[in-house]
Amino acid sequence: MKKLNLIIIAAICLVLGLGVAAYVNRSGSHSSSRTSSRTSSTAASQGVSNDSNLSPQNFNESTADSGRPSAPVAGVVSTRLKPNVNANQTFYLWQKNNVPTTTDYKAAGGNDDGADFRPNMISFPVPKGTRIKGAVLINAGGAFQFRSNSNEGYPVAEALARRGYQSFVVNYRLLPYTQQEGALDLERGVRYVCAHAKEYGIHPNDVAVMGFSAGGILAGEMLLNYDGIVNGTALDKKYQPDALDKVPAEVGADGMIYSFYGQLSIASKDVSELRRGNLPPTYFCYGTEDPFFDEFKANIRALRQAGVHVQTDVLQGAPHGYGYRRGWIPRYDKWLTQVLAKN
């Protein structure tokens, strides 16, 4: 009976946690080399969209460490504008008519975001008086069918901001768009933060990404195949690169929260692939009651064989999907502080 229950739980997580086959639809690898030199923080400071100048809306700060999530920001501003480091903002990631796309959205049936959805990211600035350590771009999970921002996005961003990280929740494209299209959304967000590192009070080397469940798989896809100088033309030859694409998307650390490098619900065990990705130090946090427990361990084993620095934080009795709970955020903060200090 216990074995049957585990099979049922795993099946549920396959649908609701770590991915859907149609989302991956891999059309080929666009592997990139992680460069040792970083673009200066002032390079390409003019971003992309020029069609919205709405005033940013402020959040009501919540006590995320104890668990009260916030509502999303209502206002959307242009990424052509320089960041306002004293307020929450939402930035479009692409120009309205220049989004790299391979999916026929309407023919594929659409999703709850609607046809007019544009990938964006929400900023959570470090409070005044707090020492700034770096920046983190956060990708919530949800099987690529939704984004669990209330559990994995907003409260985590708020907690990390209070700990000294300029934090960003990335609203990447969902099904029917592919995992690769979503990875480009994240890469674009990384570029924006690197381009505006000076305004955010960080060094361009001190930018991290993290993801929960499907969001971690997305982050891994970006780091394996869509970082550096890779741009939208890797998927869509009609895409027109702009000034922001000149900024390398370089990441100093990755966080896998009940997630792994791989695709669908299967972790990568390909040591050669992981070594070619030249991956950054990676923090893994997962529970012993997660149906993908063995996949996490296999991915970690392969990463170590590939020479990737890995830190593990195994939560006894924790299931899949615990989000900001279970007390892992302070330990992640301590690890990330040490990693970024070496960059």
Half-sphere exposure of 256 (CA within 13 A, CB side): 33
Structure confidence at residue 169 (pLDDT)? 97
Q: What contacts 59, CB < 8 A, 6 or more positions away? A: 70, 71, 73, 88, 124, 158
In the predicted model, residues of the chain with pLDDT beneath 70 are 1-81
Supply angle C-alpha 112, 175, 169, rounded to 5.
75
- Residue 239 domain flag: yes
Q: What phi, psi does 165 have (nearest 5°)?
A: -110, 125
Structure confidence at residue 300 (pLDDT)? 98
CATH number of the domain at 122, please. 3.40.50.1820
User: In angstroms, rounded to a whole number, what is the distance separating the alpha carbons of residues 90 and 217?
Assistant: 23
- Residue 26 domain flag: no
- Residue 31 domain flag: no
Tell the residue number behind the tokens 């296999």, with chain if given. Answer: 298
Tell the residue number behind the tokens 């999530």, with chain if given. Answer: 69
- Residue 298 domain flag: yes
Q: What is the pLDDT of residues 194-235, one digit of tens each?
A: 999 999 999 999 999 999 999 999 999 999 999 999 999 999
> And the tokens for 14?
């396959």
- Strands 266-267 and 262-263, bridge-based pairing: antiparallel
* Domain count within the chain: 1
- Residue 33 domain flag: no
> And the tokens for 128?
């005044």
- Residue 119 domain flag: yes
Half-sphere exposure of 177 (CA within 13 A, CB side): 28
Residue 222 parent element (H or E): helix 214-225
Query: What residues make up the domain containing 272?
Result: 2-19+43-341
Structure confidence at residue 264 (pLDDT)? 73
| Beta strands across the sheet bearing 134-139 | 90-92, 120-124, 165-171, 134-139, 207-212, 253-257, 282-287, 310-315
- Residue 214 domain flag: yes
User: In angstroms, rounded to a whole number, what is the distance separating the alpha carbons of residues 270 and 274?
Assistant: 6
User: In angstroms, rounded to a whole number, what is the distance separating the alpha carbons of residues 122 and 88?
Assistant: 7
- Residue 69 domain flag: yes
Structure confidence at residue 75 (pLDDT)? 52
DSSP bridge pairs for 135: 166, 207
Burial 299-324 (b: 16+ CB within 10 A, else e): bbebbeebebebbebebeebbbbbbb
Residue 194 CA: distances (Å) to CA of 188, 205, 228, 303: 10, 8, 12, 26
If we measure between CA atoms, which residue out of 72, 306, 27, 58 comes closest to residue 180? 27
Tell the residue number behind the tokens 């983190």, with chain if given. Answer: 136
